[in-house]
Amino acid sequence: MKKYFSITQFFTFLTILIFVTSCNGQVKRDLPKEKANDSKIIAAGQPKLIKTQGSHKDNNVCCSLQDKAGNLWFGTSGEGVYKYDGNSFSQFTATNGLNSNHVYCMLEDENGKIWIGTEAGLCLYDGKTFAKIQITLRKDMPPNKNRNTHDVFSIMQDKSGKLWFSTIDGVYIYDGKTFTSFIVGNGGGGFMSSNDNVEYILEDKAGNIWFGGRVNKGVFRYDGKSLTNLKPDGDNWAWPVLQDMNGNIWFSNWSGAFRYDGKSFTNFTKNEGLSNGPITRIIEDKNGNLWFGGGGRGICRYDGKASTCFTTKDGLTNNDVWSILEDREGNLWVGTRNTGLHRYDGKSFINFSE
């Protein structure tokens, strides 16, 4: 089961990651003329996620969630969103009302509505139709370096019910009525006003908000009053992706994974059986196992003592893993490059893509 990450794989991963990688204003909704087409994609026997004709091989399943009704949702980097109800797949694209077929992130809020972040802005699905949500930008925000995009990279709902969005135009908080830009000046112990430096947002159990992105040096922790800049990997950037059952915060970047115990950072890669290299996803399953997905390495499980890695030799169709989801039954759903989707039941991988 030895895994290798070649220079060619790294630059392929880098190209994909750059392509794939949350003022006050009233919420404006642009409802599509056509309701979401919920026609089913049905395959004989086991259902399959059917790729769009002419689909690019670099498209990937990059995010996933399970909604309150038990449906599984998968966002892709070129084919919109797929919903799986346990029997068949439905595909939703820009034709059905999405802002774009390039999806970065999804979140179901406490009211059961699904928020979808795309490269062309924010979208809200109420179970029947998609509404394009316009975030009104502050006039004094620094100019967007690429006005051709309005990327929404990540979405998080905090303990108070407010929604946080990291976007190419800055970080915004939505209280159910209006969007407010999040800026902390130098007087708050830190400075974060750039429009493109946050790609991941995480709230920990103590209510601290963590920010990370590829433009930052290190990560930022916001305690409600001030920002603290922490550096898990020297001056390198990192994404805050998970707080585990023991309270540790986990970060990932192109150098691997890092664990923060509240005092110091530990590089959790080579010594635990994971080769150094990009980590794109980390989740913790209901048994406390940690799962790591990365570019070119497949998916690895760490049980607290040792790591076990799974690749194409074990049933994956591609070793570039972009999303990992544990469903209510304990199955893992693994999304890969080339719009690959797999279910792992603890024994074997079943391919759900054509």
Residues of the chain predicted below pLDDT 50: 1-44, 187-191, 195
Q: What is the pLDDT of residue 196?
A: 52
Q: What is the pLDDT of residue 187?
A: 47
Instruction: Look at strands 321-326 and 40-41 and give their pairing.
Output: unpaired
Q: What is the pLDDT of residue 276?
A: 66
Residue 278 token pair: 């990009």
d(CA 286, CA 327): 10
In this structure, which topology does domain 7-21+23-351 adopt according to CATH? Methylamine Dehydrogenase; Chain H (2.130.10)
pLDDT tens across 220-273, in order? Answer: 899 998 888 898 877 688 899 999 999 999 999 888 899 999 999 988 866 676
Q: What is the pLDDT of residue 147?
A: 60
Q: What is the pLDDT of residue 270?
A: 65
Q: Which stretches within 141-276 are classed as H helix?
A: none
Q: What is the pLDDT of residue 150?
A: 86
Q: What is the pLDDT of residue 41?
A: 43
Other C-beta atoms lying within 10 Å of the C-beta of residue 224:
7
Looking at the DSSP bridge assignments, the partners of residue 157 are 163
Q: What is the pLDDT of residue 107?
A: 99
Q: What is the pLDDT of residue 140?
A: 65
| Rg value, the chain, Cα | 19
Give me the DSSP letters along 153-166. Answer: EEEEE-TTS-EEEE
What predicted TM-score, i.e. pTM, was given to this entire model?
A: 0.84
Order of strands, edge to edge, in the sheet holding 340-344? 321-326, 332-336, 340-344, 349-351
Other C-beta atoms lying within 10 Å of the C-beta of residue 232:
25
Q: What is the pLDDT of residue 189?
A: 46
Q: What is the pLDDT of residue 193?
A: 52
Domain regions of the chain by residue span:
7-21+23-351
- Position 282: which residue type? I
Q: What is the pLDDT of residue 255?
A: 83
